[in-house]
Structures are given as structure tokens and as C-alpha cells.
Amino acid sequence: MGQSRKTVCVCPYCGRQFEIDVWDSVNAAADPHERDRVMSGDLFRHSCPHCKTDFLFRNDLVYMDPRFRFVIWLSEKDPMDQLVQYTRPLAKQGWKLRRCNTIAELIEKIQIFEDRMDDVAVELAKYDSFIEFIDNKKGKPEDITSVEYQRTDNGVMKINIRMDDKGMSFLIPTGMIEEELEEDAARFEVNNEEFPCINGDWMISLFKEADGKA
């Protein structure tokens, strides 16, 4: 299913144009090599022939993995009708449909689904880690460069909070997060068929809305 095509891109460093090969779709089960190139970022990495600088170019991409039953649409736009028609029956069979805004979000999301984790639970664990970090005065919110899911071992999620050169890990039991989700199920509901964007901003928006109402 993987397909590549030529497109013109503008070098973010020197501003000159050149032609690159981009992928419109990747099926990880059919092409494990392409899956690895997505996870390393190499699929999106290009080198400018003029100034020789490497950079990441995010093009719209459909990433699917039938083994883990999910489809991710990498784009800032809603998916095209063609994709929605194709995935509707899959959603009914329990496949997860998601949209990701950035390459980093895509890579993290693939890791979450390959670990057979619920991404809403992961986002809540990331949010809880963030709050704990701030409450315990480990650093200021503006110093945090990222909050990342790393992996899950024996029912414990490992979340990393990074500040430029430093970092801190949080170990969050999945059982604790599942309870938190159950207690407030309506808040965390997602409409799978509409390719929801489940990320840190989404989780923060859920808590902001609740604060607004209170």
C-alpha cells in the first residue's frame, strides 16, 4: 500500500526549492522497513542540495498497522472523505483512528498503540506527571520542553519530562489511571470515527473546560 511521489519543497534554511520523494501512505505490516523509517524520522528527513542542510519535512500521511488495528492521519487538516469512507468499517471492527499534528506526535502514538496501550490513559498519565512535577516545584512550566511517553512494563507507564538538557522520569501504574478514567468517563469520551487528535493540548483543554464551568 505504501506509495511515494515527487513534490516540491522549500528549504527552511536557504529558502530555495527542490524536488523530494514523499510517502502518502505506509502500511507497517506490509512494509516493516518503512515503519522503522517513520520511527527514526528518516522517512521525513531530507537534505537540501543547495545548502546541504538536513531537515524534517512533514507531508500528509496515512499510517496504518493491521497487526495492532489502527490508522493515523498525519496532518493539520481533517482527513479527506476517501479515507473516512475507507476507515469507517474498520472503526466498527474496533480499529483506532487518530489524527496527529506533528511527526513527534505520530512516532509517540505508534509506540503507544504497538504497546497496546489506550492513548487517552497515556495522555492522562502525562498530564498527571506534569502536575506532579509543577506541584513538587521540580521546575517551572515554561522550562519544560516536552512530556513524553516512553514505554509500559508490567503495568507501569514510564513518562519523561524534559527540560533542554535535563530530564525526569515518572512511573505511573496503569491501574491508577484506569480508575481515574472510570470515575470521570464522560469527560474523557472520544469520537473515534472522526479521527480525534488525542494529545497534550487536548488533555489540557478537558481540564480547562471543567474549570471554566466551576
Task: List interacting residues with Zn ion (CB under 5 A).
Answer: 11, 13-14, 48, 50-51
Residue 39 carries which DSSP code?
A: H
Tell the smallest beta-carbon distance from residue 38 to Zn ion (Å): 24
Q: In b/e form, how buried is each residue of 22-60, taking b as 16+ CB within 10 angstroms?
A: bbebbbbeeeeebbebbeeeebbebebeeeeeeeebbee
Residues 127, 203: contact at Cβ < 8 Å? yes
Cβ atoms of 177 and 124 within 8 Å: the answer is yes
Whichever of 22 and 48 has its CB closer to Zn ion, that residue is 48
In the complex, what is the shortest distance from the CB of residue 16 to Zn ion, in angstroms, rounded to a whole number?
5
Q: Which is nearer to Zn ion, 12 or 155 (CB)?
A: 12
In the complex, the smallest distance separating the C-beta of residue 7 from Zn ion, rounded to whole angstroms, is 16
Which CB sits closer to Zn ion, 14 or 171?
Answer: 14
Dist. CA 70–CA 169, nearest whole Å: 28
As separate numbers, helices (DSSP H) first and strands (DSSP E) second, the chain gives 6, 10
Bridge partners of 149, per DSSP, are 159
| 3-state secondary structure at position 127 | helix
Instruction: Return the SS3 of 65.
Output: strand
CB 18 within 8 A of CB 40: no
Q: To the nearest whole angstrom, how small is the minimum distance from the Cβ of residue 18 to Zn ion?
A: 8
Would you list the DSSP string of 111-122?
Answer: HHHHTT--HHHH
Nearer to Zn ion, 11 or 177 (CB): 11
By beta-carbon proximity to Zn ion, the closer residue of 12 and 173 is 12
Beta carbon nearer to Zn ion, 15 or 167? 15
Q: Give least dist CB 210 to Zn ion, A.
A: 46
Residue 44 CB, nearest approach to Zn ion (Å): 16
